[in-house]
Amino acid sequence: MKQFTSVEDILIFAINAEQEAVDFYSRLASQSVNTEMQQIFRQYAHEEMGHKSKLMKIREQGLIGISVEEINDLKISDYTVDVFPGPNMTYADALVLAMKKEKAAFRLYLDLAALAPNEEIKNIFNALAQEEAKHKLRFELEYDEFVLKEN
């Protein structure tokens, strides 16, 4: 795993990770044949861009308003099968894909927090993990509302 020697290294890593998420969802939007799915993936990309902007602001202005709060986990993504991106994805598939991606990002940031050399860096990773947990919860609630209730 990458070694971080400064807060700057962490922020650059996290900014790049968020940009990868923006690129991923943008690519899915451009590949999707369904206009509704294109819009959904663009929305996901926009949200990830918001994360990137927040991290860039922290990088420029310093640690601003980082707080840690408890986020519920419905664990729906633990019981869904893996979905692979494709042009004909359903809304349910898109939600599963998004849940899994956010869960992976959440775990990455928690692992990095556990390896952090000091409290400041640990707090940054925990805050980033919390952001990913919020997104995962949002996708799980959406899945519960629109997919599980239909079945």
CB-based burial label for 60 (10 Å; 0-12, 13-18, 19+): exposed
What is the per-residue pLDDT for 45? 92
- Indicate the number of domains in the chain: 1
Q: Average pLDDT of 35-50?
A: 87
Local confidence band at 150 (pLDDT 50, 70, 90 cut-offs): low
pTM here is 0.69
What is the per-residue pLDDT for 64? 47
Give the Cα separation of 82 and 88 in Å (integer).
16
pLDDT tens figures, 71-95: 455 454 554 446 566 777 788 888 8
User: Residue 95: inside a domain, yes or no?
Assistant: yes
pLDDT tens figures, 17-34: 889 989 988 988 888 777
- How big is the CA angle at 10 (ends 76 and 13), to the nearest 5 degrees? 70
User: Residue 19: inside a domain, yes or no?
Assistant: yes
Please report, for the domain that includes residue 90, its CATH number: 1.20.1260.10
pLDDT tens figures, 102-140: 888 888 888 878 877 778 778 888 888 888 888 888 888
User: Residue 79: inside a domain, yes or no?
Assistant: yes
Question: Which residues lie closer than 8 Å to 134 by C-beta, 6 or more apart?
Answer: 71
User: Residue 47: inside a domain, yes or no?
Assistant: yes
Structure tokens at 67: 């707080």
User: Residue 25: inside a domain, yes or no?
Assistant: yes
User: Residue 1: inside a domain, yes or no?
Assistant: no
The domain containing residue 19 runs over which residues?
Answer: 7-66+73-148
How many Cβ atoms sit within 10 Å of the Cβ of residue 99? 25
Give the Cα separation of 151 and 128 in Å (integer).
34
User: Residue 136: inside a domain, yes or no?
Assistant: yes
